Amino acid sequence: MGLMIDYARPDGRAARGYYVAGARGANQPGIVVVQEWWGVNSQIKGSADRLAESGYRVLVPDLFRGKATLDEAEAEHMMHNLDFEEAATQDIRGAVQHLKPKGKVGVVGFCMGGALAVLTAATTPEADAVVSWYGVPPEEALDVAKVTAPLQGHFALQDTFFPIASVDALDRRLQQRGVAHEFHRYDAGHAFGNETGANHDPDATEQAWDRTLRFFGRHIG
């Protein structure tokens, strides 16, 4: 069972997040989990718990400062009010820095958090591996030349929020710059890995989780 903790952002301000660790506690690599637009709810905490059970210290930055919702319109409103650059360079990078003294650290994000995870790959040199589930940032927001961490992506062919064409464009840009990455595409809809959502696809979810854990195993231990 996890708990809410405070940690420092690079600018010195305090941030909060959901923290959970596996049986070996501090003697484990770390993973920062970046929320969907619903907030830090029970579903995203469950994803963090799953990673902890797999042997990681996990921290989920609370980007919405305690707010969570089940209403799509409210979730969209909260997402549009979020400063993505600040979230990536302060809240998420601060979470990576908080975990880093005890070992290597990965980042994984879902939906909105997936786009933020990709941004983090270019803004957080402390990150050792980054995974995005069905999220890519706008082309103009990402300088692929600054991506230093190995990157893995899991994307839905029927995604209407993050069209697969935008994934293909990012794939080409990363290839052109020689950035180490692997993108996987699934015959599924957006947020297929969220077991509480209408598009949940159990087979795609388990395949994506298996690939995610193997990727982190290779790069952060």
Asked if residue 82 lies in contact with residue 53, where contact means CB atoms within 8 angstroms, the answer is no
Looking at the DSSP bridge assignments, the partners of residue 19 are 3, 59
The Cβ of residue 177 has, within 10 Å, a number of other Cβ atoms equal to 13
* pTM of the predicted structure, to 2 decimals: 0.97
Q: Copy the structure tokens of residue 39.
A: 């907030």
Give me the sign of the Cα torsion angle 175, 181, 185, 190. Answer: negative
The Cα–Cα gap between 215 and 130 comes to 9
As a whole number of Å, the CA-based R_g of the chain is 16
Walk along the chain (221 residues) and give the pLDDT tens digit of each residue. Answer: 799 999 999 999 999 999 999 888 888 999 999 999 999 999 999 999 999 999 999 999 999 999 999 999 999 999 999 999 999 999 999 999 999 999 999 999 999 999 999 999 999 999 999 999 999 999 999 999 999 999 999 999 999 999 999 999 999 999 999 999 999 999 999 999 999 999 999 999 999 999 999 999 999 99
